[in-house]
Structure 1
Amino acid sequence: MAKGQKPTINDVARLSGVSKKTVSRVINKSPLLNQATREKVEAVIAELEYVPNPQARALALRRNFLIGLIHDNPNAQMVLGVQEGILDTIRNTEFALVVRPVDRHSPTMVEDIRGFIEQQRLYGVMLLPPISENDELAQACRDLGCTVVRMGSARLDDDAHLVASNDRQAVSDAVAWLAELGHKRIGFVAGPEGFLSARERELGFAEGMARAGLKPDAKIAARGNYRFESGLAAGQKLLSAKSPPSAIFSSNDEMAAGVLHAARERGMSVPEDLSIIGFDDTAIAAHIWPPLTTVRWPIRAMAATAAAKLTRPETAASEPSFFLSDLVRRASAIEYLP
């Protein structure tokens, strides 16, 4: 190799005493190598300060180094948290993130996503709820040779292709805590139909009430769509009930902020007149007044792990798959004082 000339994959292969294909497998972290060969090639790469050509690698793999984030989720804060988590993992690597919103109600959704993956030649795809719950979509991605990781509120796939949280248990614990504070009339704002997260949180609410010896009351329950406006409407309904709640659990923070706004419209003080708990612990929870007690959903950590599973598939099964949510106690929920 001439002085000043950049080393090539041929140089690495020659000095390592292996083929170009073996060097390529080392670079692409293929599991089809013994450890001794891998270490020998990696040592030569380090000695030569060889930097693989990303375009050449992409051509060889027939994939670009792009991670696709595909979603149909009305919660902008949640999507932002996922993006931040993915970027935590791929920062300072050759990978880049591309985000694709879709319409889960479209009859051509699966075909549209299939076309997007083929056009972009994605290395891997992360599917957010609720479309992550679509088995046909996940299989379509696999059929294209694209690695998939699905985010959910319950088990959707094997450990190598899943990041999930314990929504049901977390909500049950939060509601039981409200009961321990003396609240008997606990209202509930459910998430949208068709979301597994909404269903899991609804089941958690029912379990928490049962643990406390309480029965849910349909007169102080409403369904929203994870947006502020739906939380406002739900809060107006619940607080207009003949026997209104002393506490309300909302299935996400944006709707909880809407409930708080509805309380303020009626001249109520939070938490003195009404305790409120949300879910997610997005930025809005700490920024509203009073700061919102909420269940922290470890979105960023889940997304960072999903990105690790996508970019390092040979170790994906050893990465964690389940993440625990915990209650963050702030100023919006206190002991009930009749």
Structure 2
Amino acid sequence: MEKVRKSIRRKGHATTIGEVAALAKVSPMTVSRVINGNANVRDATRERVLRAVDKLGYTPNLAASTLAAAQSTRVALIYTNPSGAYLSDLLVGVLHGAARAAVQLVIDSWDELDAEGERRSARALARSVAGVILPPPLGESKAVVSELVRAGIPVVAIAAERFREDISCVHIDDFRAAREMTEYLISLGHTRIGYIKGHPNQVASQRRFEGYQAALAAAGIAPDHALVQQGYYTYRSALEPAEKLLTRRNPPTAIFASNDDMAAAAVSVAHRRGLDVPGDLSVVGFDDTSAATRVWPELTTVRQPLEAMADAALDHLLRSIRNKEREHVLIDQVVQHVLVKRDSVAAPRRGS
């Protein structure tokens, strides 16, 4: 480690890939794979290498040879997502990647646009940028994506399953993640598990609900439609659903909300009703955004590595832009999720 520090201080010394590898405690081949966007690298290893790259100021030969082109490259991130915590984590990843790649980043909200407005905006956007990153739900908008692809603009969708072959996607396995979370609750003894669904305009919402249902079925727990309520991924949208669940004659012993904002709302409703979390009610969320640690108790949740996903999406987008004269580099990358256990979950009380 000391040798790396000395080499950085030598005037005019260019950091080598070997020094990056030494700092990250990986092989030079692994550093090369990360820099070139190879998907066959563990997320934790990728993050360690990128931190070493940033710390040492390493500039790969490929990046150096295309730096002038990269500086004039404009890419856009367009969003309509209602969760502020989700967007915050996503933007950190994109901004980190944009700074590292020396590209111009355009960020815009289309919250107020109807379907026709989105189509017109997509056509206009295609004339001013070289590539576009689309978080949900825009990443699943056939109209928006069609306009961009028709104009020859590379598109990468984040946190959305691939629905056409001419765009790239970076996402987790939402079905598997929700199934694992439900299985965890069942393993503690919960059999009445309330569920607050996500916005129906996103495929991930349905996949998470299907994962919840699959875990119940595998455990032999009959579905109870009264334990399922509709939310829309905002804090306020989950207040009434949580109230309905907790005012039932036989209320659930656990609530699984399909994002952290809605789980935080469920905790708030429980506290207002004098319930102890997790003593009287376990609550879990999804995404592991900052909302998960802003409530008491902190939420057990599924970590969707949004920053790393956004950074990877930008890397894929830039490769497609630079290969535009040839065949686009299209990928469908599934990133590993993590079940994060915190203090909002406990076994149900006896007799519950």
TM-score by length of 1: 0.77
The 3-state SS of whatever aligns with 2:286 is: strand
Which of 288, 294, 298 does residue 291 from structure 1 map onto? 298
Q: Determine the structure 1 residue equivalent to 2:107.
A: 99
CA distance in 2, matches of 1:310, 1:89: 11
Deviation at 1:254, TM superposition (A): 0.2
CA distance in 1, matches of 2:214, 2:313: 30
Q: Determine the structure 2 residue equivalent to 1:195.
A: 202
Q: Determine the structure 2 residue equivalent to 1:66.
A: 74
Aligned residues: 284
8 Å contact from structure 1 (residues 248, 277) kept in 2: yes
- Per-residue CA deviation, residues 174-208 of structure 1 (Å, 9 max, x unaligned), is 10110110001110000122211111111111111
Q: Determine the structure 2 residue equivalent to 1:126.
A: 133
Q: Determine the structure 2 residue equivalent to 1:215.
A: 222
Deviation at 1:294, TM superposition (A): 0.3
Runs of 5+ consecutive residues of structure 1 not aligned to the other structure: 1-28, 30-45, 59-63
More divergent stretch after superposition (104-113 vs 301-310): 104-113
Deviation at 1:158, TM superposition (A): 4.2
Please tell me the root mean square deviation across aligned C-alpha atoms, in Å.
Answer: 2.5
The 3-state SS of whatever aligns with 1:91 is: helix
CA distance in 2, matches of 1:230, 1:199: 17
Runs of 5+ consecutive residues of structure 2 not aligned to the other structure: 1-35, 37-60
8 Å contact from structure 2 (residues 78, 135) kept in 1: yes
8 Å contact from structure 1 (residues 235, 258) kept in 2: yes
CA distance in 1, matches of 2:205, 2:260: 13
CA distance in 1, matches of 2:295, 2:67: 48
Which of 277, 284, 288 does residue 277 from structure 1 map onto? 284
> For the structure 1 residues 50 and 218, does the alpha-carbon distance in structure 2 shift closer, same or farther, using more than 3 Å as the test?
closer
Q: Determine the structure 1 residue equivalent to 2:336.
A: 324
8 Å contact from structure 1 (residues 309, 316) kept in 2: no
CA distance in 1, matches of 2:68, 2:114: 41
The 3-state SS of whatever aligns with 1:187 is: strand
Q: Determine the structure 1 residue equivalent to 2:244.
A: 237
Deviation at 1:90, TM superposition (A): 2.0
Q: Determine the structure 1 residue equivalent to 2:118.
A: 109
- Per-residue CA deviation, residues 106-157 of structure 1 (Å, 9 max, x unaligned), is 3231112211332xx2121011111211233222112222211112342334
- Per-residue CA deviation, residues 262-288 of structure 1 (Å, 9 max, x unaligned), is 000110000000001100100111221
CA distance in 1, matches of 2:306, 2:158: 9
Considering only CA atoms, is the larger Rg found in Structure 1 or Structure 2?
1
